[in-house]
Amino acid sequence: MQKPTQTQKASARRRRPKGKRRATHPQASMDQVVILGAGCSGLYAALKLARAGVKVVVLEKEAIPGGLARGTRHGDNHYDLGVHMLHAFDQEVFEDMCEIMGDERIEAPLNAKIKWAGGFYRYPLQFGELIKGIPKLELIRCSLGLLFYPLWGRIWKKKPKNAEEALIQLYGRPLYEFFFEDFTTRYWGFPPAELSATFVTTKMPRLSAVDVIKKLLSTIGIKDHSLRAVETALAEETLHYSRTGAESMPRLLAREIERLGGRVLTEAEVQSVHRSGDRVTSVSYRESGSDGKICRIECDHLISTIPIPDFIRSMNGSVPPPVLAAADKLRYKPIAVYGLLVKKERALDALYVYYRKRCFHRVGEPKNAGLLVHPSDHTVLIVETTCEIDGPKWKGETEFLERMVLDLEAEGICTQEDIVESHLQKATHGYPIFALGFEPHLDLVREYIAELDNVCSVGRQGGFCFPNMHGAMRMGAVAAEKILDKMVHVPSPANQAAGD
Ligand SMILES: Cc1cc2nc3c(=O)[nH]c(=O)nc-3n(C[C@H](O)[C@H](O)[C@H](O)COP(=O)(O)OP(=O)(O)OC[C@H]3O[C@@H](n4cnc5c(N)ncnc54)[C@H](O)[C@@H]3O)c2cc1C
């Protein structure tokens, strides 16, 4: 087993809390916890609970666990639903995954690039590289914008109304128009003016070039007190993966949960969540693999990692109409990901490359991180797109496929003749949409869930946020800890009945 290196240990931002390692809770085994969804967050929550001796059942609607981080096998090859690699930022999560994945874990240096101004540059863009791509006149405008907007922000102190205003406050209007406007519009399917400013602060990686300019400005006394875009995880680092791609991590997590006595039920789609007062008491799910039988499972505690609007709707009948209406306002951007087996030894000079002007936004080549490909002189490409349900990308229509191949050819990645197989994978809930005005709706839904005594809604879908895998797992761990604390301090009715 590969042990974490010193650098990884030093760079790990979250450490295992002292005294928290493998805590076992004396009363834990009497309660049953039901977890909705077997993505990273649900599986990691289940692992924590199973290790503490708690009876845990995970319900997953798909045939395999993993959620967004799943991978599927076609023939001898594995295709990720968007290349998924683990960051080592959360040391506790990282150590757990090192232990669980054992020899299946491999390391890959991060080699992310962006196609910009006709060349390939490290992603995210560095200062000098951004400058190279901006024509001289435009560069003067952008620099003036960067000078002017922080100054103006200091005088006018206006809270941005939407993502467009937030980006302009951060980067100035010329740079916004030159760099962000078009790409953001194509990515989301609508302009930044229709996105919330919260998106800029919580999702968008900070453009490091701009930070440098801002540092320069601050040395001459012009400090920027405006918004801060999120710190990107994509600095220089080692990523963690497997020779069979993303599928390994959820598969091994599920195996470990079951080894510890927990259950991970796949093809078990949650239909309704039943309540008594402010407690959830049971969950009904449909066994989609068999004849669609509806089953019911009792629970003392519930962790939901399924999309938060779906969870609210599953309690229909007991949910006030304003909360249901608020849940309906929370939307997600679907993704359609094309896994291609390509007759080429290697197609990209990177792990993945972001493209700003193509019908896809990222192409990954997981072989460059160590994925085994059969035959070995072929490679696998993962072509990621955001889309609309029932649109041409989602349905894999010829019109889109032709466009995709033309774009791949134009980028020199591969030709139609190189493509041996193509496998489309999709997810209805790729990215939460921070649409303009989503915040009060989310607050209302969260407040409603917080009133339920034995329920947590976490993870990317359940929290309506943008964590990476380790972040989603951390959310799962926090939910598990909350339940374990309750079990220790407040014996459940089941425990009392059992004489605990
Ligand atoms: C294209 C792409 C690439 C990414 N790459 C990386 C990366 O390289 N590294 C990284 O760290 N992060 C990456 N991420 C982020 C990462 O995928 C997520 O943060 C993480 O997978 C979220 O896990 P989750 O459990 O919170 O949500 P999900 O993975 O969405 O899990 C929710 C689960 O609930 C299930 N479910 C939904 N409804 C029901 C129902 N009614 N009944 C039962 N089950 C249900 C779903 O099937 C799913 O399995 C990427 C994300 C995308 C979209």
Q: Is the pLDDT at 493 greater than 60, yes or no? A: no
Categorize the per-residue pLDDT at 186 as very low, low, confident or very high, splitting at 50, 70 and 90. confident
* Best probe residue, ligand 1, of 239, 469, 470 (max atoms within 8 Å of C-beta): 469
What average pLDDT does range 197-214 have in this prediction?
A: 72
Identify the helix (H) or strand (E) that includes residue 293. Answer: strand 293-298
Query: Cis bond leading into 124, ω under 30°?
Result: yes
What average pLDDT does range 73-90 have in this prediction?
A: 96
Rounded CA-CA distance 73/78 in Å is: 4
Ligand 1 centroid to residue 305 C-alpha, Å: 9
Ligand 1 centroid to residue 70 C-alpha, Å: 8
Question: Above pLDDT 70, what percent of the chain?
Answer: 84
Ligand 1: atom nearest CA of 69 is 21
Query: Which residue owns the Cα nearest ligand 1 atom 5?
Result: 84
How many CB atoms lie under 10 A from the CB of residue 111? 18
What is residue 209's predicted lDDT score, i.e. its pLDDT? 58
Categorize the per-residue pLDDT at 123 as very low, low, confident or very high, splitting at 50, 70 and 90. confident
Whether the model pTM is above 0.85: yes
Rounded CA-CA distance 24/126 in Å is: 47
Work out the mean pLDDT of the chain and round it to a whole number.
Answer: 87
Query: Which residue owns the Cα nearest ligand 1 atom 37?
Result: 306
Most confident listed range (27-36, 153-162, 193-202, 350-359): 350-359
Ligand 1: atom nearest CA of 362 is 1
What is residue 378's predicted lDDT score, i.e. its pLDDT? 98
Q: Is the pLDDT at 327 greater than 70, yes or no? A: yes
Distances in Å between the Cα of 402 and the Cα atoms of 360, 420, 473 are: 12, 15, 38
What average pLDDT does range 23-52 have in this prediction?
A: 86
Ligand 1: atom nearest CA of 87 is 11
What is residue 179's predicted lDDT score, i.e. its pLDDT? 83
Please name the amino acid found at residue 480: A
Write the pLDDT tens digit of every residue in 413-441. Answer: 999 999 999 999 999 999 999 999 999 99
Ligand 1: atom nearest CA of 431 is 53
Domains in the chain, CATH or no CATH each: 27-63+266-330+436-497 (3.50.50.60), 72-112+233-242+332-432 (3.90.660.10), 125-219 (no CATH)
Most confident listed range (47-56, 142-151, 282-291): 47-56
Ligand 1: atom nearest CA of 459 is 26
Q: Find the residues whose C-beta lies inside 6 A of ligand 1.
A: 36-42, 59-62, 67-69, 82-87, 269-270, 305-306, 310, 335, 384, 429-430, 459-461, 467-470, 472
Ligand 1 centroid to residue 16 C-alpha, Å: 24
Contact between 382 and 363 under an 8 Å Cβ cutoff? The reply is: yes
Q: Is the pLDDT at 498 greater than 90, yes or no? A: no
Contact between 311 and 273 under an 8 Å Cβ cutoff? The reply is: yes
